[in-house]
Amino acid sequence: MTGEALLSVRGSTLVDRNGTAVTLRGFGLGGWMNMENFITGYPANEEAHRESIRRVLGEERYRLFFDRFLEHFFTEEDARYIASLGLNLLRVPINYRHFEDDMRPFEIDESGFRHLDRVIDACARHGVYTIIDLHALPGYQNQHWHSDNPTHRALLWRHKHFQDRAVHLWEAIARRYRGNPWVAGYNPINEPADPSEEMIMPFYARLYEAIRAQDPDHVIFLEGNRYSQDFHMFGEPWDGVVYTNHDYALPGFVDGGPYPGVSRGTYVDRDVLEETFRRRSAYMLERGLHVWVGEFGPVYTGDPEADAMRYQVLRDQLEIYDRYGASWAIWLYKDIGLQGVAYAAPDSPWMRRIAPMAEKKARLGADAWGGTEEGIAHVMQPIRDLFAREFPDYAPFPFGASRDIQELVRHILLSEPLVEEFAELFRGVTEEEIDTLMRSFRLENCRLRTPLAEVLAEHSPAAARR
């Protein structure tokens, strides 16, 4: 690792210590040190998943279960593959629970860094930068499962205790990686969602000052409020900061319509994609700042015609990002078949083991991101009709009544009973069987979504230099 690789912010660009402009483009490693239900197949949120596996397997095999998962999900071969596409970035989402126990607040667990260090070092050996992304904060920074939230309330913004713990953790992270040239920087809060809009900037200021006290050099990547979309409460830009949005396109969602065409009641074509990007990036563009799109990317249905349209959405977005010189991290690198460029083979030991639960989750629409309501429309629609009739003006933060109903019914009410059912699929597994199951996620055992890889390679930093 060389000190020349260490990045800094210079106007609208990122530069290394030689003054060479660097555009960061790569993947988000979702589902690894911050697990998500649709990525690896379990129901509900990570904490519930872990607790149920512990009850079924006991402490020793529980630890082995998740350690083998972390070991096999990302290896040296994954870093090599990312570099082979000409890409140079891996955004690494982490869950605070790896580094601190709720029953022992403010005690940093050094063992939590073992796999994070390993992946950062592996990426560095292949010229791939990493961004450390705190995806799940104590108390939950947003209202959904991906902050490991079992509720629909973001308590981080209401309790100083949770905020103090997050600051303490970032101080530990910044101390550890200070001077590491292949850590591009720190992403302190993924998709913050402060309903009051009054706490986010004071808390960002605390985090910024705490990180800078430990590490004066690394870039800090700050996201807008309301899931990285709203910047109107932000004041003047801060030194050494890149501001980042998330830019998911409506036709790329699991329920997306044709492209060009209507999705969720809105017509979307290439011009609309650009208008949406410009709106979400207005704070940065108006001030001549660098733009990093921290998340974007369609899901894939398996239907060739639908997926061809989704690849076109992706191509159009990437061409827009090229014209604006934006950095990006597509969501996501690896999963069980919905979005990843690599995914567990359908006939792998893991996929065969979880097949009954995958079918039931799909039938019940239990995954808010990867599932639809087709099988439970007779349950969902009457609730929505009732709310429209009785509470026509009800529009809860962040995305209104319909999304709240989805979260409360599908992701909580219908998902919680599935947690124990999923854990029972692993009752009695041996240590050897655990290792075999988790090897399903090794790159050599995965399938590759070649068309996706080819599109990304065409827009990689390496391609731009040719």
CA pair distance 126, 79, nearest whole angstrom: 6
For residue 102, count other CB atoms closer than 10 A to its CB. Answer: 11
CA pair distance 221, 351, nearest whole angstrom: 36
Closest CA to 40 of 253, 348, 302: 348
pTM (2 d.p.) = 0.98
DSSP letters spanning 5-74: G--EEETTEEE-TT--EE--EEEE-TTSBS--HHHHS--S-HHHHHHHHHHHHHHHHHHHHHHHHHHHHS
Contacts of 391 (CB under 8 A, 6+ apart): 401
SS3 368: coil
Per-residue confidence (pLDDT) for residue 307, from 0 to 100: 97
Q: What is the spatial order of strands in the sheet that 342-344 belongs to? A: 334-335, 342-344, 446-448
CA pair distance 147, 227, nearest whole angstrom: 11
Per-residue confidence (pLDDT) for residue 1, from 0 to 100: 58
CA pair distance 164, 207, nearest whole angstrom: 10
Per-residue confidence (pLDDT) for residue 221, from 0 to 100: 98
DSSP strand E in 153-307: where?
183-187, 219-223, 241-246, 261-263, 266-268, 291-295
Cβ atoms of residues 48 and 419 within 8 Å: yes
Omega within 30 of 0 (cis) for the link into 6: no
Per-residue confidence (pLDDT) for residue 75, from 0 to 100: 98
Q: Among all residues, which ones are annotated catalytic?
A: 191, 295
Per-residue confidence (pLDDT) for residue 52, from 0 to 100: 98
Amino acid at 329: A
Per-residue confidence (pLDDT) for residue 341, from 0 to 100: 98
pLDDT tens track of the chain, all 466 residues? 578 899 999 999 999 999 999 999 999 999 999 999 999 999 999 999 999 999 999 999 999 999 999 999 999 999 999 999 999 999 999 999 999 999 999 999 999 999 999 999 999 999 999 999 999 999 999 999 999 999 999 999 999 999 999 999 999 999 999 999 999 999 999 999 999 999 999 999 999 999 999 999 999 999 999 999 999 999 999 999 999 999 999 999 999 999 999 999 999 999 999 999 999 999 999 999 999 999 999 999 999 999 999 999 999 999 999 999 999 999 999 999 999 999 999 999 999 999 999 999 999 999 989 899 999 999 999 999 999 999 999 999 999 999 999 999 999 999 999 999 999 999 999 999 999 999 999 999 999 999 999 999 999 999 988 7
Closest CA to 170 of 129, 115, 213, 226: 213
Q: How many residues does the chain have?
A: 466
Closest CA to 372 of 338, 333, 331: 338
Q: Residue 461: what are its φ and ψ, rounded to 5°?
A: -55, -35
CA pair distance 77, 74, nearest whole angstrom: 8
Per-residue burial over 424-437, b if 16 or more Cβ lie within 10 Å, else e, is ebbeebeeeebbbb
